[in-house]
C-alpha cells in the first residue's frame, strides 16, 4: 500500500514536470504575467511605505513649523522683553534629536553702516536694521526654500561674517564682499558680507549674523529671543512632539506655526490618502487582470484534462495536479518578480526623492504570497472541467 502511494506520488510529480516543460511558450507567458504582477505589487508596496515617510521630510522645505518663545509675551511693542537661556536650547536639542533642525534666534534693532575701519559710531549715514543672530550654517537646513548663497568653508563658517537680506543690500547699497559695522548701545561689531539672502518675506529686510556676534552686540551672552524648530514627521507626530516639548520646558511657550502645520497636515493627508487609494486600486485591478489572463491560459488545458479523465483520473486528482502546477508557477514568478520589483522601487525612490527607497524585507514574502494566491485562484475555474465528457473533447466538440 505504501509502495503504491510512493509510486503515485512519484507519478504525480512526474506529470507536473511534464506539464511545465511541455510547452515552453506557455510557461514563459504564464511566468511573465505572474512576474509582472509580483514586480508591480512589490514595487508599489515598498514605495508606498517609503514615500509617506519621505514626504514628511519633504515638507520641511516649508521651513520651521514650531516656535519656542518666552512665556511672558511682550506687552509693548518696541523691544521684545523676556529671553530664553542656554539650558532651554539644550533641552530642546535633546528632545528634538535627529528629527529636526533647531535654530535659536536673537533679534535686535541695530544701526548699520558701511565699514571704513574706524568703528566710531557716527549718527549720519547709518540706518536702523533688524539683526537676526543665528547659526548661519543651519540656515539652509532650516529654510531650504530660501535662496541662501552658502560659500564653502572647510573649518565651519567664520564668526565675523553675515548675510544681507536682499532689500537690506539694496537699501544700503551693499554687495558681496563689503564690510559693515553694526552699533547697538555701546557695543560695535565689524562683519564681512558673504552673501545676499532672498526669502521673499520679512527676512529680506534683515541682516543675518552668527549668534555669538549678535549676543556680544546686545550684551546678552547665552540668551536668545526665540527658537525655531523644523520638525519632520506626520501631523500626529508633530502634535505629540509639541506636547512633549511643552511638558519638558514649562518656562517657555511652545506653539505650532499654524500657517504651516495646518496646511501641511491637510496636504499630507491628501497625498497619503491618494497614494494608498491609488496603490490599492492598482493592486486589486492588476491582480484581477493577471487572474483573468491566467485563467485564459489554464482553460486551454481542456485536451489534457480530457485525456487524463479518459485514462481514469479522478476529477479531484486532476484538479489537484493543476492547482499544484499553478502554485509552483506563482511561487517562481513571485520570487523573481518581487525581487525585480524591490530593485525597481529602490531605483524609483531615487528618481523621485533623490534618495534610494529602503528595501523592506516584509514586502518580499507578502508579494510572493499574494502572487501564489492569485495563481491558485486563477486555476480554480478548471473546476468546471469536471463536467467535461472526455469523448466530446476528443471529437473536438465544445
Which residues within the stretch 127-156 sit at the binding site for another protein (CB under 8 A)?
A: 127-130, 143-147
**Which CB atom, from 12 or from 166, has the smaller least distance to another protein?**
166
From the list 150-158, 291-299, 311-319, 364-372, the region that binds another protein by CB under 8 A is 291-299
Q: Based on the shown chain and the rule CB under 8 A, indicate whether residue 218 belongs to the binding site for another protein.
A: no
Beta carbons within 8 Å of 1's beta carbon, 6+ residues apart: none
Alpha carbons 356 and 108: distance in angstroms, whole number: 43
Beta carbons within 8 Å of 109's beta carbon, 6+ residues apart: 79, 128, 129, 130, 131
Beta carbons within 8 Å of 64's beta carbon, 6+ residues apart: 101, 103, 142, 143, 228, 229, 230, 257, 260
Smallest gap from Cβ 60 to another protein, in A, equals 9
Alpha carbons 55 and 319: distance in angstroms, whole number: 48
**Cross-strand bridge partners of residue 129:** 110
Smallest gap from Cβ 316 to another protein, in A, equals 23
Smallest gap from Cβ 214 to another protein, in A, equals 13
Q: Tally the residues of the chain.
A: 398
Q: Based on the shown chain and the rule CB under 8 A, indicate whether residue 183 belongs to the binding site for another protein.
A: no
**Which CB atom, from 6 or from 284, has the smaller least distance to another protein?**
284
From the list 3-11, 75-83, 215-223, 231-239, the region that binds another protein by CB under 8 A is 75-83
Q: How many helices (H) and strands (E) does the chain have?
A: 12, 11
Alpha carbons 169 and 180: distance in angstroms, whole number: 11
**Of the candidates 163, 241, 260, 364, which one interacts with another protein according to CB under 8 A?**
260
Alpha carbons 81 and 93: distance in angstroms, whole number: 23
Residue 46, SS3 per DSSP: helix
**Which CB atom, from 12 or from 272, has the smaller least distance to another protein?**
272
Q: Based on the shown chain and the rule CB under 8 A, indicate whether residue 185 belongs to the binding site for another protein.
A: no
Sign of the CA dihedral 82, 85, 87, 93?
A: positive
Smallest gap from Cβ 7 to another protein, in A, equals 28
Residues 222-251 within binding reach of another protein (CB under 8 A): 225-226
Q: Based on the shown chain and the rule CB under 8 A, indicate whether residue 163 belongs to the binding site for another protein.
A: no
Residues 11-50 within binding reach of another protein (CB under 8 A): 23, 25-26, 29-30, 32-33, 36-37, 39-40, 43-44, 47
Residues 297-316 within binding reach of another protein (CB under 8 A): 297, 299-300
Q: Based on the shown chain and the rule CB under 8 A, indicate whether residue 386 belongs to the binding site for another protein.
A: no
Smallest gap from Cβ 258 to another protein, in A, equals 3
Q: Based on the shown chain and the rule CB under 8 A, indicate whether residue 296 belongs to the binding site for another protein.
A: yes
Residue 202, SS3 per DSSP: helix
Question: With contact defined as beta carbons under 8 Å apart, do 287 and 374 qualify?
Answer: yes
**Of the candidates 250, 351, 361, 395, which one interacts with another protein according to CB under 8 A?**
351
Amino acid at each position: 500500500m505504501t509502495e503504491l502511494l510512493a509510486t503515485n506520488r512519484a507519478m504525480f510529480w512526474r506529470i507536473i514536470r511534464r506539464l511545465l516543460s511541455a510547452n515552453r511558450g506557455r510557461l514563459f507567458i504564464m511566468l511573465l504575467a505572474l512576474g509582472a504582477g509580483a514586480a508591480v505589487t512589490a514595487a508599489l508596496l515598498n514605495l508606498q511605505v517609503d514615500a509617506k515617510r519621505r514626504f514628511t521630510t519633504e515638507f520641511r522645505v516649508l521651513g520651521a513649523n514650531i516656535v519656542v518663545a518666552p512665556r511672558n509675551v511682550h506687552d509693548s511693542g518696541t523691544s521684545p522683553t523676556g529671553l530664553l537661556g542656554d539650558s532651554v536650547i539644550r533641552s530642546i536639542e535633546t528632545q528634538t534629536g535627529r528629527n529636526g533642525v533647531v535654530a535659536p534666534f536673537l533679534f535686535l534693532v541695530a544701526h548699520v553702516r558701511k565699514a571704513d575701519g574706524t568703528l566710531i559710531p557716527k549718527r549720519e549715514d547709518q540706518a536702523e536694521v533688524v539683526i537676526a543672530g543665528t547659526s548661519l550654517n543651519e540656515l539652509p537646513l532650516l529654510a531650504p526654500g530660501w535662496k541662501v548663497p552658502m560659500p564653502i568653508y572647510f573649518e565651519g563658517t567664520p564668526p565675523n561674517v553675515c548675510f544681507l537680506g536682499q532689500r537690506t543690500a539694496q537699501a544700503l547699497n551693499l554687495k558681496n564682499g563689503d564690510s559693515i559695522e553694526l552699533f547697538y548701545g555701546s557695543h560695535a561689531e565689524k562683519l564681512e558680507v558673504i552673501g545676499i539672502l532672498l526669502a521673499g518675506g520679512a527676512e529680506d529686510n534683515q541682516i543675518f549674523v552668527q549668534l555669538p556676534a549678535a549676543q556680544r552686540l546686545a550684551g546678552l551672552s547665552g540668551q536668545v529671543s526665540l527658537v525655531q524648530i523644523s520638525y519632520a514627521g506626520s501631523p500626529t507626530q508633530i502634535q505629540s512632539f509639541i506636547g512633549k516639548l511643552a511638558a519638558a520646558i514649562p518656562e517657555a511657550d511652545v506653539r505650532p506655526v499654524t500657517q504651516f502645520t495646518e496646511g501641511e497636515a491637510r496636504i499630507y493627508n491628501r497625498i497619503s490618502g491618494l497614494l494608498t487609494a491609488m496603490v490599492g486600486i492598482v493592486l486589486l485591478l492588476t491582480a484581477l487582470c493577471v487572474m483573468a489572463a491566467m485563467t485564459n491560459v489554464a482553460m486551454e488545458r481542456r485536451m489534457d484534462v480530457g485525456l487524463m479523465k479518459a485514462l481514469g483520473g479522478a476529477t479531484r486528482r486532476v484538479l489537484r495536479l493543476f492547482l499544484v502546477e499553478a502554485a509552483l508557477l506563482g511561487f517562481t514568478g513571485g520570487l523573481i518578480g518581487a525581487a525585480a520589483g524591490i530593485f525597481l522601487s529602490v531605483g524609483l525612490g531615487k528618481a523621485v526623492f533623490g534618495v534610494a527607497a529602503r528595501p523592506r524585507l516584509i514586502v518580499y514574502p507578502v508579494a510572493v504570497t499574494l502572487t501564489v494566491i492569485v495563481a491558485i485562484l486563477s486555476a480554480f475555474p478548471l473546476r468546471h472541467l469536471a463536467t467535461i465528457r472526455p469523448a466530446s473533447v476528443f471529437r473536438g466538440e465544445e
